[in-house]
Amino acid sequence: MGAGAVLAAAVCAPLSAQVAGERIQITGEIIDTWCYFSGVMGGPEAVVGSAHHTCALWCSAGGIPVGLLGDDGEVYMVLKLGDDDASAGGDTQLRLASHQITADGMLYQRDGLNYLVVSEVVADDGIVNLSHDDFGVTPGFAIPEPKE
């Protein structure tokens, strides 16, 4: 093997290790990543569960990618969920907003971020985090005004 081939193999080996994903099964809540990371609507505990459900729908429909807040405390950016091609605004994402799910898929990690390509939602427990009891509806303007 020539020196060029050895160098190419050495350079490509770490790259192929980064590209390779790991099959995982993880349980957590489908979240609105913008509000969770930005803090624009409150702290992390206020922008999950039933308190933030309406806003999570709006953000996903508006193009904000969804994430999965794992029971392990890590956030996984969802690149694809099931058969939906979109990472935001697709029917599956909207149907699962704020739901506690168990997902089977491929985990990719790069630059300290977790990316998840979900091949199958193996369990959907619905909305189990009833955070509206503690935080009300976040944001408050998500409650429609009654018609007079």
User: In terms of residues, how long is the chain?
Assistant: 148
Residue 59 lies in a domain: yes
Mean pLDDT, 10 residues at a time, the chain of 148 residues: 44 51 94 84 74 82 88 92 68 84 95 92 88 63 58
What does DSSP assign to residue 16? H
Number of domains in the chain: 1
The pairing of strands 75-81 and 113-124 is parallel
- Scan for tokens 């944001």, then name that residue: 139
- pLDDT tens track for 60-85: 888 888 899 999 999 999 988 877 76
Residue 5 lies in a domain: no
Residue 65 lies in a domain: yes
Q: How far apart are CA 116 and CA 44, in angstroms?
A: 20
pTM reported for the whole predicted model: 0.75
Residue 113 lies in a domain: yes
